[in-house]
Amino acid sequence: MRLSQMLFVTLREDPAEAEIPSHKLLLRAGYIRRVASGIYSYLPLMWRVLQKVSRIVREEMDATGAQECLLPQLQPAELWQESGRWDTYTQAEGIMFTLTDRQNRQLGLGPTHEEIITTLARDLIRSYRQLPQNLYQLQTKFRDEIRPRFGLMRGREFIMKDAYSFHSSEESLRETYGAMDQAYRNMFRRCGLQFRPVQADSGAIGGSASQEFMILAEAGEDEILYTDDGQYAANVEKAVSLPADAVESPFTSYERRETPNTPTIASLCQFLNCSPTHIVKNVLYQAVYDNGTTVLVLVNIRGDEDVNGVKLTNELTRQAPRYGAKTLLALTVPDGEAQAKWAAEPLPLGYIAPNLADGYIAPQPRVAPQFLRLADLTVLELQNFVTGANETGFHVMGANWGQEFELPAIQIDLRSAKAGDRAPHDPSQILHSARGIEAGHIFQLGLKYSQAMGATYTSESGEELPLWMGCYGVGVSRIAQAAVEQSHDQNGIIWPVALAPYQAIVIMPNLNASDQVAAAEALYGQLQAAGIEVLLDDRDERAGVKFKDADLIGIPYRIVTGRSLKEGKVEVVQRATGESQDIPLDQVVSTLQGWIAAALA
Amino acid sequence: MRLSQMLFVTLREDPAEAEIPSHKLLLRAGYIRRVASGIYSYLPLMWRVLQKVSRIVREEMDATGAQECLLPQLQPAELWQESGRWDTYTQAEGIMFTLTDRQNRQLGLGPTHEEIITTLARDLIRSYRQLPQNLYQLQTKFRDEIRPRFGLMRGREFIMKDAYSFHSSEESLRETYGAMDQAYRNMFRRCGLQFRPVQADSGAIGGSASQEFMILAEAGEDEILYTDDGQYAANVEKAVSLPADAVESPFTSYERRETPNTPTIASLCQFLNCSPTHIVKNVLYQAVYDNGTTVLVLVNIRGDEDVNGVKLTNELTRQAPRYGAKTLLALTVPDGEAQAKWAAEPLPLGYIAPNLADGYIAPQPRVAPQFLRLADLTVLELQNFVTGANETGFHVMGANWGQEFELPAIQIDLRSAKAGDRAPHDPSQILHSARGIEAGHIFQLGLKYSQAMGATYTSESGEELPLWMGCYGVGVSRIAQAAVEQSHDQNGIIWPVALAPYQAIVIMPNLNASDQVAAAEALYGQLQAAGIEVLLDDRDERAGVKFKDADLIGIPYRIVTGRSLKEGKVEVVQRATGESQDIPLDQVVSTLQGWIAAALA
């Protein structure tokens, strides 16, 4: 393509709307333009990058035997009501755009397609003989994000590959899940990206096991914890670790003591001259379910640990049926005003006792909410511990489970793992922290959707059984930007060869030098004929502008028909290394072919 | 692909939801499934067909130098308000889906992208040196159709290629418009379709010239009028023709006569024993504009002619500024109840006089509406004509313009051309009628959007001028179904080779005959290695079922490893002709390669 004929506009200044380097560069280099918050036009250069990512994704999916299809973006509300996700996606998370058609029917704009594909499977799959199946699509998806940001990283309209598999057994599901894991590793490797697969939380998609593929970059929104031995990596939302050993408590007899101005663990430790591991911290939350039920949740956790919001949300979602509800709508820490609805007297959160409910809920006419206690595993073995006294300015110490306080019935892992913790698989391994951009996520959904929507098959023995399901997503547009976030310098983008919109750019520095023009035109023709994707900068611009633009847009190989032309050579610069060499005219094509083949190997 | 591993389900019965053959066949043969009214899932076979159409479209667009991009589907209302189309698309035609995001901003789901691209051009195009530009995209579009029907023909979610070009002159626009015309002819030819380019009305898109590409098929929603000499073809909405010659009137003196029970032209002609060409018919309409203004419109047209609703709508839209309005919202024929709002006494429509307003509108307190008269060109030369008398059961005859009645100031072509009319370019040519499916539409938009949205460029002489614009659409999913509508038989689909999801299918009639299985597997491998897209029917089904399915899904070449195998041959059947021949095993690949190359030439 000739730059003089392309819709090609670069900007000298960083646009004010962008915060992170990749967003700035994609705007400056003329790859994208913002239409509205989280909504972008992909200009011709960007479209080529997206097509390259898509092609790699397709090839890897096809290689596993998955079949491409295309499902609708407009999805009837009834299907989401059947699966039980309508409320979650339109209220609790509220990330689905909804609209009403002229027949007054409600539709959602698809953020994901479990409902549509499960309906299809219900219609099309009858017998175990048709299984397994794996269908995928590449498609624009929609999410009404609370805070769209970072360009294509968290957009409201974005391109994804999503795949859905159906199986007659969990074993078959695990097999396809494994094949997808491998296909995803291949995709990210072929895209030329530094990435890490990590254990992940399944969130609103649901199911059992799930794994994310993180593109490593400082600006990533996710924190990853991993060990050096490569045996463990997880999203911090999901990560587990061994807590530090608790120190033996010095408080060998039970007492209640005045502890003024000690609402925090630090202040309490200082006042009592004790370790945070001596303390049972009691953290109060307010959970609201979709049927209107409010539950006060008290988590008992060791003083040096923090509650992991994702783990807590998952547990409270699991508990929904206990309250006759389907979905958790909101989870907050109640302030004094919120507490005043039930408490005789609002209690600063630092003074709550494990048995808060006993002394806290006021008599009528105040409304007594439901009460739920959860113990994190770190408190189970504590003895002679310190904890709140249900009275401002007082704590108790030397307390023990089964004596002063009962342990809650629900005892689960609710703590946040963190960098520096010991790894569960090998205490000699320490968790390290890195930032990542979630660019892929694969799930073992199990029977969640097939049971809810009645998608069954007839087994070999004639039984009608629900289909086992998996689903597998890749953010195509997110990968494109993440590649820039991972690979750029002060001069612009440095595309991996596999994703670059063009592999090479031929620059004629001076349009008035006929030898430069002729050599550039000849090379441009030869490179095209050799199947190399090449730009020709034939614009009437200064050489410096052309060099700057070539660096900015990040084309891997820059060929300049300049001074060395009189020796029958051209300058070839590699964008990634900055390395420059003069190459004889008749060796340019073969040299580039060699480099490109090596880069794509 | 092995059919045993594909999500492949055919139906024996025609589905009740489908009316036309192509819709029935796509459902029966497992290409599509309905999700909601006008919303379909494209199953793997269909996706391959859509990819084939898309590829041809891309290749032809790229060959013209057009650049692919991707614009958002979510479009801010403000952009449509800027262009003045928000009301047209959300009220008058009401075909745009709209929604509100969590920030309470209104968005439309893109049915077309003039607003988005004009905003881009306004941002990116500064100088004549950047022109011309032509950008295109392949994308799912949305229309909240009043009556979604015929499967993919008139869906609410469908795939289109749309392109938009920008120019520094009308001449440059015409050049690109010509290149698009040629590219479109190439596309349809390469898709293997019978088609016809026709002059077309520009509708809500606007602009001056426009041309549609019609795929010829009985079930087509559009009527085309064309001449045998190939010099004229137009959509009936837009077509012009020479009216029949008027017969000289026998009514040489003016009189008013009682004509009981003559509300129709036929009854009046019988009563008066005259020709319809003696009559000036006065057709009353009620137009409602977006600012609430109601206008009574009276069209004077010759008795043997009919008013063309599209031509009338266009004229009334052009008249909007006269009433301080932007858009025509509705056009209806007022019934008695509607007339009662203004008329002293409702008048049966057959008795209206050309000067209806004078006698018809009652005095206060009834509200006098605005009144607009339009004369179709057929009435200008009429002399001594018959027409209504503004009184039930009475007509006048021997009337003349300038004597009993004034001619309206607006005199334009408003009549419907019809089959049998003489062509305007050559009265010896007669218009014939055919049905077509509109699958492409190209427009010279002119300055409509660039002026409304301030998209300008600096000319060579330094002037800031509005950009000339064209736009060019192709219905990708519609083409796919239209191909089936044009080419099928009682046994199923007959795909053109260029669009078939697979070019060949190898059938092993009997899974227990090891020689059949071995030969089929070997051929399957050879055909794949030769780059032929091939299915292998390795299902455990009866041979008859396999043959029926192969015919139903319409694969061009069917290869059966059956009886002739003992002679070292296989049966090869061509789907289009039904022709069957036995071909030696070692010649199958080369024979098919030859046929396919010939079909794609």
Of A158, A179, A155, nearest in space to A167 by CA:
A179
Q: What is the ipTM of this complex?
A: 0.90
Would you list the DSSP string of B136-192?
Answer: EEEEEEE---SS-BTTTTB-SEEEEEEEEEEESSHHHHHHHHHHHHHHHHHHHHHTT
Tell me: pLDDT of B362 over 60.
Answer: no
Give the angle subtended at the CA of A190 by the CAs of A186 and A191, to the nearest 5°: 120
Which among B73, B129, B540 has the least Cβ separation from residue A140? B73
Contacts of A146 in chain B (CB under 8 A): 102
Q: What helix, strand, coil percent values describe chain A, rounded to 5?
A: 30, 30, 40
Single out the residue in B428, B460, B485 at which a domain terminates: B485
Higher pLDDT, B584 or B200: B584
Q: A34 CB contacts (<8 Å, ≥6 apart)?
A: A17, A27, A40
Reported for A265-270, long-range contacts at CB under 8 A and 24+ positions apart, including other chains, are: A265/A303, A265/A304, A265/A350, A268/A303, A268/A350, A268/A386, A268/A395, A269/A303
**Interface mutation target, options A67, A133, A166, chain B, most CBs of B under 10 Å:** A67
Please determine, for residue A592, whether its predicted confidence score (pLDDT) is greater than 60.
Answer: yes
Among B560, B579, B552, CA closest to B495: B552
B193/B266 same-domain check? no
Q: Over 80: is that where the pLDDT of A225 sits?
A: yes
State the pLDDT at residue B365.
Answer: 44
> Which amino acid appears at position B330 of this protein?
A
User: B166 to chain A: nearest residue by CA?
Assistant: A7
Match 């439901």 to its residue by tokens: A370
B125–A contact, CB cutoff 8 A: yes
Q: How many domains does chain A have?
A: 3
What's the CA gap between B103 and B86, in Å, rounded?
Answer: 20
Closest CA to A4 of A571, A517, A589: A517
Q: Is the pLDDT of residue B358 over 70?
A: no
Query: How far is Cα B339 from Cα A82, in angstroms, rounded to an integer?
Result: 49
**Do B560 and B465 fall into the same domain?**
no
For tokens 């200064």, name the residue. A542
Q: Is residue A249 part of a domain?
A: no
Residue A349's pLDDT band (boundaries 50, 70, 90)? confident
Statement to judge: residues A153 and A195 lie in one domain: yes
Give A577's Cβ-side CA count (13 Å radius): 6
**B541 contact residues in A (CB cutoff 8 A):** none
User: Are A35 and B75 in contact (CB < 8 Å)?
Assistant: yes
Average pLDDT over residues B345-357: 81
Residue B22 has a pLDDT of 97
Which whole number is the average pLDDT over B548-555? 98
Show residues of chain B in contact with A102, CB under 8 Å. Answer: 94, 144, 146
Q: Which domain CATH number covers B408? A: 3.90.960.10
**Whether residues A225 and A330 fall in one domain:** no
Q: Do residues B537 and B553 make contact, with C-beta atoms less than 8 angstroms apart? A: no
Chain A interface disruption, residue of B61, B74, B460, most A CBs within 10 A: B74
- Chain B CB within 8 Å of residue A535 CB: no
Q: Which residues make beta-bridge pairs with B215? A: B195, B437
**Per DSSP, what are the bridge partners of residue B456?**
B466
Q: Are residues B589 and B470 in the same domain?
A: no
Encode pLDDT of A449-506 as tens digits.
999 999 999 999 999 999 999 999 999 999 999 999 999 999 999 999 999 999 999 9
Structure tokens at A71: 């499902």
- Domain assignment present for A43: yes
Q: Does the beta-carbon distance from B41 to A71 stay under 8 Å? A: yes
Residue-range definition of the domain harbouring residue A521: 502-600
**Backbone torsions φ then ψ of B199, nearest 5 degrees:** -65, 145
Report d(CA B498, CA B59) in Å as an integer: 13
Mean pLDDT of chain A: 93
pLDDT exceeding 90 applies to what percent of chain B? 85
Is residue B494 a part of any domain in this protein?
no
Looking at the predicted structure, is the pLDDT value of residue B113 above 80? Answer: yes
Residues in B closer than 8 angstroms to A50, CB to CB, are: 70
A 28-67 residues inside an 8 A Cβ radius of B: 30, 33, 35-37, 39-44, 46-48, 50, 65, 67
Work out the minimum CA distance from A53 to partner chain B, whole angstroms.
Answer: 15
Distances in Å between the Cα of B219 and the Cα atoms of B239, B432, B499 are 20, 17, 20
Per the domain annotation, does B556 fall within a domain?
Answer: yes
Residue B346 has pLDDT above 90, yes or no: no
Expressed in percent and rounded to 5, the helix, strand and coil fractions of chain B are 30, 30, 40
Same domain, residue pair A202 and A68? yes
In a domain, A307, yes or no: yes
* CB-CB under 8 Å, A69 with B44: yes
Same domain, B117 and B61: yes
Q: Classify residue B96 by its DSSP letter.
A: S
Q: How many helices (H) and strands (E) does chain A have?
A: 15, 33
Confidence label for A365 from pLDDT (cuts 50, 70 and 90): very low
- Domain boundary pick from A485, A512, A546: A485
B520–A contact, CB cutoff 8 A: no
The reply to whether omega before B132 is within 30° of 0 (cis) is: yes
Interface test with A, best of B8, B41, B460 (most A CBs within 10 A): B41
Instruction: Find, among B47, B18, B9, the residue nearest to B153 by Cα.
Output: B18
Per-residue pLDDT tens for B410-461?
999 999 999 999 999 999 999 999 999 999 999 999 999 999 999 999 999 9
CB pairs under 8 A between A and B: 152
pLDDT at B94: 83
Distance CA B415, CA A209 (A): 68
State whether residue B502 sits within 8 Å of chain A by CB.
no
CATH number of the domain at A522, please: 3.40.50.800
The predicted structure's pLDDT at residue A361: 55
Question: Does B164 reside within a domain?
Answer: yes
Closest CB to A68 among B35, B47, B125: B47
List of chain B residues whose C-beta atoms are within 8 Å of the C-beta of residue A35: 71-72, 75-76, 116, 119
The encoded tokens of residue A540 equal 């009437």
Length, in residues, of chain A: 601
Q: Write down which residue in A425, A455, A485 finishes a domain.
A: A485
pLDDT tens by residue, A49-86: 999 999 999 999 999 999 999 999 999 999 999 998 99
What is the mean predicted confidence (pLDDT) over B126-131? 96
Q: Are residues B105 and B146 in the same domain?
A: yes
Verify that B273 and B380 share a domain, yes or no: yes
| Residue numbers in B near A70 (CB within 8 A) | 41-42, 46-47, 50
| Residue B168 predicted with pLDDT over 70 | yes
Q: Point out the least confidently predicted range of A21-35, A529-543, B207-221, B341-355.
A: B341-355
Residue A453 CB partners (closer than 8 Å, separation 6+): A79, A82, A83, A115, A118, A119, A122
Q: Which H, E and C letters describe A273-329, residue by residue?
A: CCCHHHEEEEEEEEEEECCCCEEEEEEEEECCCCECHHHHHHHHHHCHHHHCCCCEE
**A156:B119 CB<8 A:** no
Structure confidence at residue B236 (pLDDT): 94
Is the per-residue pLDDT at B334 higher than 90?
A: no
CATH number at residue A454: 3.30.930.10
Crossing angle of the two packed helices A21-28 and A476-486, in degrees rounded to 10 = 100
Question: Same domain, yes or no, for A26 and A155?
Answer: yes
| Average pLDDT for A346-356 | 83
What pLDDT is recorded for position B345? 72
Same domain, B259 and B370: yes
Sign of CA dihedral A424, A426, A430, A436: negative
- For the stretch A239-267, pLDDT in tens is 999 999 989 999 999 999 999 999 999 99
> Are B140 and B201 found together in one domain?
yes
Pairwise CB contact (< 8 Å): A74 & B116? no
Nearest Cβ partner of A7 from B40, B67, B101? B67
B2 within a domain of the structure (yes/no): no
Q: Which of A7, A72, A142 sits opposite B35 (nearest CB)?
A: A72
- Which residue, B22, B33, B222, B59, is CA-closest to B138? B59
Residue B424 lies in a domain: no
Task: Report CB contact under 8 Å: B67, A6.
Answer: yes
Query: How many Å from the N-terminal Cα to the C-terminal Cα in chain A?
Result: 25
Lowest mean pLDDT among A393-397, B16-20, B125-129, B158-162: B16-20
| Pairwise CB contact (< 8 Å): A36 & B156 | no
